[in-house]
Structure 1
Amino acid sequence: MPGNSIQSKLLTRTLRVTVKPALGVWARIPSTNWAARVVDQAARLLPALDGVGHRRVRLPDCDAEWIQAHNADLHSVVLYLHGGGFLTGGLNTHRRLASRISQAADASVLSVDYRLMPTHAIGDAVADGISGYRWLLARGFASTQIVIAGDSAGGYLAFMVALALADLELPRPAGLVALSPLTDLDPTVKLRHPASAQCPILPGSALVALTALTVRVEHRTGGESGLPVSPVDADLRGLPPVLLQVGSKDLLYPDARLMFECLTDAGVPAALEVWDGQFHVFHVAADLLPEARRAIEGVAKFIRAVTAVRSGVSDTGGLASDREIA
């Protein structure tokens, strides 16, 4: 099905002349402390989604938010890790997306407000995701009921948290969901791909600036002077089923494609959905875009399938596939 909705085309044009230039300015003057505060505080103005409740939760080193649609039961739960380049975003920016996932999947969501760069290294954000997973286990959820999900940088964290669980001898989750995920911290391949010019949100210069900042933070916080390990370079064997969704005009499209190939090579059941004409994390525009609402329904179907199959009830149906969706 070629093409996309009128709403999507109009929003894409708007983003190209607003958000993308702003991120280009940031790339030249990569100040970060103000961005984390301003963006998430501004998002407090967004109204809550009708029919969904939320309450604050305290984890050892950060806050989190328990989000539950009124129709949600306690059969499955999503550990959600927001995007924002490890620099910004938070509970406010992603509350509506997490709420929509809760409604669609009939599941509860624990959204983690993990620690951000440049004050903290990426490893601290991974540790906060692990704390959220332990919190769910301590409250009686079986690992077969838990799906770890994230968008953009949160997609990176979702994979790294799942990989860390095996090292900690904690049970693996039922599945992973990665929306427009960052899976390779090295920007070289992405900058050479045609999606680099087509992306209406992320300029390539922002990725270069993020990479340089990550190296500085790692060095300052006592890590190695280079970049942390990327999911595409990790040993992926033993991961649970994975759903990846990405837009065809997303700067991170090459990351999703490469991650899908790495997962299938490692024998991990995986599905890659490429949404025609869509931009980076288009899911957050579900109030406007029919494509975003359809994508979230696909996420919900995956969550229901993997939590059911791990209980011996159903099967995962569409995994180990690569789909182009309009």
Structure 2
Amino acid sequence: MEPVIEERPGCSKQARRFARFMRYVIRPIFFYSPLTPAMLRAAVVLDVFAPLLMRRARDTRIERVDLGGFHGEWVRPGGVSGSGRVILFLHGGGFFCCGLRTHRKLVERIAQRSDAVAFSVAYRQLPGAPLSTSMADALDGYRILLEQGHAPQNIVIAGDSAGGFLAFTTALKALRRGFPAPAGIVALSPMVDLDHEARASYPFTTKDVYIPVHRLEGLKKLLLADAMDGDPLPSPCDQDLRNLPPVFMQVGSREGLRWDAELMAERLAAADVPHRLQIWEDQIHVFPAFAGVIPEGLQAIDEIAAFIRETTYPKPADAAA
């Protein structure tokens, strides 16, 4: 199988203006903040104040769920038909920032357009927990959905950036433990490789509008603090991918993690896993999260929703029958 890659041309004036804002206002903060425990703890401010900027729809219900050491929330948009579709969403943020609040609007939009409900997991992160804990919490989120009776053929695991990493590792770990596979995986600008050596020479690694991709090597040391010498990296791109369900990925054409998305498309193709990678011209990292100001973000969310509807069962025709 050859990698299935779609080029999406065109970049609006709104998207270009927002990219300039991210480059000159947000980029310096991310690039020069030290990777110290104090800075990592301070990053929680993003999640605390996110609701002031991104308000959910009035008819969307949010239900917190305590999961023993961490928590999650159900996002139930108004007007969902009760199709049985469930999105297990794993937020991005480099495994140290962002959370349920920063991603709530994105999750709401995807769920509403997919005619689904979403279960968003606030997995434990740095500096309080290493990567192994984040992965375990994400897998617990999937296990809990299965234990509650949700059919695996109706569950799609989705995530952005670091959450894309977790979306893949959750599905892979589930298969290794004998759990049924989910219906599909959605990964937005996913990070899939913890080995920064090959990525370092990629043209957009140091030119990304706001994500300090070149700092992933330093972040890796913190993420793997509990790993033993000689342990293989848990990068999903290096795992046995052969039994994964269909995968849908989106990435901006000029962002540093385009390297990861293209690498994953190559590995999925080699494993004969059905997949699609959309590369959107000049869009920034996880641009669907900024759909309120970037028109292409809403278009991208419609593409995500179409994949979720097409991948899950029962499909509308089956339900009618």
Same fold (TM over 0.5): yes
- Aligned residue among 181, 184, 197 for 1:175: 184
| 1:218 matched to 2:226 | yes
Q: Secondary structure at the match of 2:144?
A: helix
1:39 aligned residue: 46
8 A contact 1:250–1:279 mirrored in 2: yes
| 1:19 matched to 2:29 | no
8 A contact 2:87–2:155 mirrored in 1: yes
Q: Which runs of no fewer than 5 residues in structure 2 stay unpaired?
A: 1-7
1:322 aligned residue: none
Q: Secondary structure at the match of 1:47?
A: coil
1:191 aligned residue: 200
- Aligned residue among 286, 289, 297 for 2:291: 286
1:88 aligned residue: 97
| 1:147 matched to 2:152 | no
Paired letter, 1:53: R
| 1:56 matched to 2:64 | yes
Q: Give the Cα separation in 1 of the matches to 2:315 and 2:20.
A: 43
Q: Secondary structure at the match of 1:264?
A: helix
8 A contact 2:86–2:154 mirrored in 1: yes
Pair 225,16 (structure 1): closer, same or farther in 2 beyond 3 Å: farther
Paired residues, what number?
A: 310
In the TM superposition, residue 58 of structure 1 has moved relative to its aligned partner by 1.4
Q: Give the Cα separation in 1 of the matches to 2:215 and 2:237.
A: 21
- Aligned residue among 236, 240, 252 for 2:245: 240
1:273 aligned residue: 278
Paired letter, 1:62: F
| 1:71 matched to 2:76 | no
1:101 aligned residue: 110
1:10 aligned residue: 17
Q: Secondary structure at the match of 2:313?
A: helix
Equivalent residues in 2 for 1:93-132, closer than 5 Å: 93-132=102-141
In the TM superposition, residue 39 of structure 1 has moved relative to its aligned partner by 1.6
Q: Give the Cα separation in 2 of the matches to 1:82 and 1:224.
A: 29
Q: Give the Cα separation in 2 of the matches to 1:171 and 1:24.
A: 41
Q: Secondary structure at the match of 2:169?
A: helix
Higher relative CO (Cα under 8 Å, sequence separation at least 6) belongs to 2
Equivalent residues in 2 for 1:290-309, closer than 5 Å: 290-308=295-313
Q: Give the Cα separation in 1 of the matches to 2:302 and 2:185.
A: 15
Q: Secondary structure at the match of 2:158?
A: strand
Q: Secondary structure at the match of 1:75?
A: coil
8 A contact 1:178–1:243 mirrored in 2: yes
Scaled by the length of structure 2, the TM-score of the pair is 0.90
Scaled by the length of structure 1, the TM-score of the pair is 0.89
1:323 aligned residue: none
Pair 312,203 (structure 1): closer, same or farther in 2 beyond 3 Å: same
CA RMSD of aligned residues (A): 2.1
What is the identity percentage for the equivalent residue pairs of Structure 1 and Structure 2?
40
Paired letter, 1:258: L
Q: Secondary structure at the match of 1:273?
A: strand
Q: Which runs of no fewer than 5 residues in structure 1 stay unpaired?
A: 315-326
In the TM superposition, residue 84 of structure 1 has moved relative to its aligned partner by 0.6
Deviations 1:134-163 (A, max 9, x none): 221122211000000000000000000100
8 A contact 2:41–2:127 mirrored in 1: no
Deviations 1:15-47 (A, max 9, x none): 001111111112476744423421211213232
8 A contact 1:174–1:310 mirrored in 2: no
